[in-house]
Structure 1
Amino acid sequence: MSEWRKRCENEWSLQGAPMPDSLDWKSVYDAKPLGRNLLKNPSPHGVSKDIPPPEPDLPEVPTRGPPRFQPHGFSQFIGDFSGWTTSTETLPYDSSGIPAGAVVCQLPRYSWFTMEQVVDLKAEGLWEELLDDFQPEIVIQDWYEESQLHKSIYELHVKLLGADKSTVISEHTANPTEDCSAYSHNWKEVSHVFSGYGPGVRYVHFQHRLKNQFLNGFYATLSSDSSAAFEHLAGDSR
């Protein structure tokens, strides 16, 4: 047994796992496919869940003129989104709950800011026999900024995809509801564990959506420390 194969088995409990003879065990060990975050750039907003979210800068005097529908000079929106595919969806005005005949000077305008990326599991050091037979658990974790911006400010959509990138083998969606009755400004965790998902998984599609508000300024919902990771295997428990 090679030294590198022995290291992989000892550190990741791979004893008995199906392993093709063609594997380059040094490359497998260097890639460290288990127990690490496979997402690129997990905190593109430049903030951490270990530090309280920054308080928004509220103008002392309301902005004059028509409402601004694109962020301009708003520091919280600035970030490094490399590794992510991003898009923005501006939502129509919500006039529900306004009494008939009421005069409304200005309504808030909301938008969804979507960030997503696809992880190629084989490129990250996993191999087909391991994914199909052992099916190590895939742990999804994400953090978003709790606020009273709206009752729905965050959505998570994760799919395990086949080799064609279109076949969905397993998926998970989260759409938590916020309590807008009392101010609280912390990080909220969203997590899920994929287990027993079946053979054929080759890609992980990770997507979350953050709601922004335009009303006398631009106010964004932040995210931090997004993660998709394979747990260490239990070896002979399978």
Structure 2
Amino acid sequence: MGLSGSCPGQESEIGPALDLSPLPPELLLQILLHVPPRMLVTRCRAVCRQWRELVDGPALWRLRWAQTKDASSQDLLEATHYCPPAPKPCSWARLGILEPLGRNLLRNPCGQEGFQSWELENGGEGWAIEENRKPVPGAQAQTCFVSSFRWCRKRQVVDLLAQGLWPELLDDPRAEIHISDWWGAREDCGCQYQLHVRLVAANRRTVLARFDVEPDPIPQWNDNTCIQVSHIFTNFRKGVRFLFFEHAGKDTQFWAGYYGARITHSSVKVYFRTP
């Protein structure tokens, strides 16, 4: 009775568009801070030259990171202060979208997406994916890659620039690359494990730093042991642009099936040490 409003299914009226072009850049910047990052790049950047310059420039993203206050945003704020990227089209916007610091640069670290993103080298009966026998703290999923009775290898190549990192940061001695991997065994079968990591130049051939480890095998009749292997690359040579990550596993009993090393929660993260 006397109630106004739209009928069901009727589109509500949209008010007249507001022309923001007369606004000074300082005020426009405050408005753009409330726009989601991807919309800034895909929509707002195309509006006009002034908007494109704001989205591509450092001021908008520095303010956004300062207000967000999460760890990744604070790391980017500090890193770009001490080690700003070279001025290139959309370079700051790429940082805002990709947020590469403190993020795992390896894809599908727990097998939650099958074998996607991994290059496999199958020994014995190859690789399988199973649920963890013990929870792995911090893992994206409680699943793991399980090796067989001969060496099974699995590798990824990380293009560090494509992930959003920039040459000035990678060449700075305060950059750190943190490596972590978890491996374990079934309680009824021992296993062996290896990890090989290379920091490689732009030509994909020159190795600038490396880390290799092959811990003592886990013996048969264990308690479903799960072990973390970690390493931090510091003060590495300039020119690192790719990271080669490979791990391998097998069982020690030579049993048919999938009784070898169980590998999960692999990670590669880049940080920037600040004073």
Tell me which protein shows more helix as a share of its residues.
2
Bigger mean CA deviation after superposition, 177-186 or 162-171: 177-186
Pairing partner for 2:269 from 226, 229, 233 = 229
Cα separation, 1, equivalents of 2:169 and 2:83 = 7
Q: Post-superposition shift, 1:218?
A: 4.2
Unmatched 5+ stretches in structure 2: 1-57, 67-72, 125-147
Cα separation, 2, equivalents of 1:176 and 1:194 = 19
User: Which residue is equivalent to 1:93?
Assistant: none
Pairing partner for 1:32 from 75, 99, 121 = 99
User: Which residue is equivalent to 2:83?
Assistant: 17
Q: Are the counterparts in 1 of residues 98 and 164 from structure 2 also a CA contact under 8 Å? A: yes
| CA deviation map 1:15-55 (0-9, x unaligned) | 221421225212211101100100010011x5xxxxxxxxx
Alignment length (residue pairs): 184
Cα separation, 1, equivalents of 2:217 and 2:150 = 17
Q: Are the counterparts in 2 of residues 5 and 25 from structure 1 also a CA contact under 8 Å? A: no
Percent identity between matched residues is 33
Unmatched 5+ stretches in structure 1: 47-78, 91-108
User: Which residue is equivalent to 2:260?
Assistant: 220
Letter in 2 for 1:2: A
Cα separation, 1, equivalents of 2:218 and 2:225 = 12
Letter in 1 for 2:167: E
Q: Post-superposition shift, 1:7?
A: 4.1
User: Which residue is equivalent to 2:192?
Assistant: 153
- Does residue 88 in structure 1 map to residue 127 in structure 2? no
Cα separation, 2, equivalents of 1:20 and 1:153 = 45
* Structure possessing the higher relative contact order (Cα contacts under 8 Å, 6 or more residues apart): 1
**Per the alignment, do residues 6 and 195 of structure 1 end up closer, same or farther by CA in structure 2, a change over 3 Å counting?**
farther
| CA deviation map 1:90-143 (0-9, x unaligned) | 5xxxxxxxxxxxxxxxxxx93011010000000000111111124511000000
Cα separation, 2, equivalents of 1:135 and 1:40 = 25
Q: Are the counterparts in 2 of residues 135 and 199 from structure 1 also a CA contact under 8 Å? A: no
**Per the alignment, do residues 169 and 135 of structure 1 end up closer, same or farther by CA in structure 2, a change over 3 Å counting?**
farther
Q: Are the counterparts in 2 of residues 146 and 188 from structure 1 also a CA contact under 8 Å? A: no
Cα separation, 1, equivalents of 2:242 and 2:151 = 25
User: Which residue is equivalent to 1:3?
Assistant: 60
**Per the alignment, do residues 196 and 134 of structure 1 end up closer, same or farther by CA in structure 2, a change over 3 Å counting?**
closer
Question: Who wins on radius of gyration, i.e. which is larger?
Answer: 2
| CA deviation map 1:178-220 (0-9, x unaligned) | 3527522121100000000020000010000011454365423
User: Which residue is equivalent to 1:70?
Assistant: none
Q: Are the counterparts in 2 of residues 145 and 221 from structure 1 also a CA contact under 8 Å? A: yes
| CA deviation map 1:138-183 (0-9, x unaligned) | 0000001135634x61000000000011110000011000352752
Letter in 1 for 2:59: S
**Per the alignment, do residues 30 and 215 of structure 1 end up closer, same or farther by CA in structure 2, a change over 3 Å counting?**
same
RMSD over aligned Cα atoms: 2.5
**Per the alignment, do residues 134 and 6 of structure 1 end up closer, same or farther by CA in structure 2, a change over 3 Å counting?**
farther
Q: Are the counterparts in 2 of residues 120 and 202 from structure 1 also a CA contact under 8 Å? A: yes
Runs of 4+ residues deviating >6 angstroms: none
User: Which residue is equivalent to 1:69?
Assistant: none
- 2:114 counterpart SS class: coil
Q: Are the counterparts in 1 of residues 183 and 262 from structure 2 also a CA contact under 8 Å? A: yes
Letter in 1 for 2:82: G
User: Which residue is equivalent to 2:183?
Assistant: 144
Cα separation, 2, equivalents of 1:216 and 1:146 = 15
